Amino acid sequence: MSSPELLRETLREVLYGPPTTFGLSRFEAGGSLFSAPDAGLLRVAHAFTPAQALAPAAPGRPSAAQIVLHICQHLEHVSAVLHDPYALRPDEPEAWEVTLTPDQWQGTLVRLARAGQGLYDALYRPLTPEMLRMAHGGIVHAASHAGALHFHLRNVQVGE
């Protein structure tokens, strides 16, 4: 079972990448939980230009902005449930159905940071084993999308 402390450390790594020690990242020193240096979700999301973020990865595929919005929605919901087990998802369109503008993309980046902080704060609450499982699932879900965004960003940068 994951402890809240380990979940907070994992969430920090998802959002910011592995911590560094003595000039070496924990990844280089063999201590990273799962990610590579400079692959934190916030850093990766901010590396997209608005045009890159709003363009679909391929025909019929979501844009980076839609993926980031999906992560926001997911982290916000997990945080809400950790505060109130009966919390409902907000009445908003699914991220996959939204077409963002450049201004909305900037707002989504702020929303992502707030969603991550909201979940981080919720991990300080007394949590049942079921809540710990839900938090763990939410963090892993965000991590998998962060990896996909990092991969997409590298492809976009190579293509320029």
* Segment 14-66, tens digit of pLDDT: 999 887 655 555 445 555 556 677 789 999 999 999 999 999 988 999 999 99
0.75 exceeded by pTM: yes
**Tens-place pLDDT, residues 123-154:** 999 999 999 999 999 999 999 999 999 998 99
Query: Exposed/middle/buried for 1, CB within 10 Å: 0-12, 13-18, 19+?
Result: exposed
Q: Which domain holds residue 138?
A: 4-158
CATH number of the domain to which 67 belongs: 1.20.120
- Domain total in the chain: 1
Token duo for residue 85? 């087990």
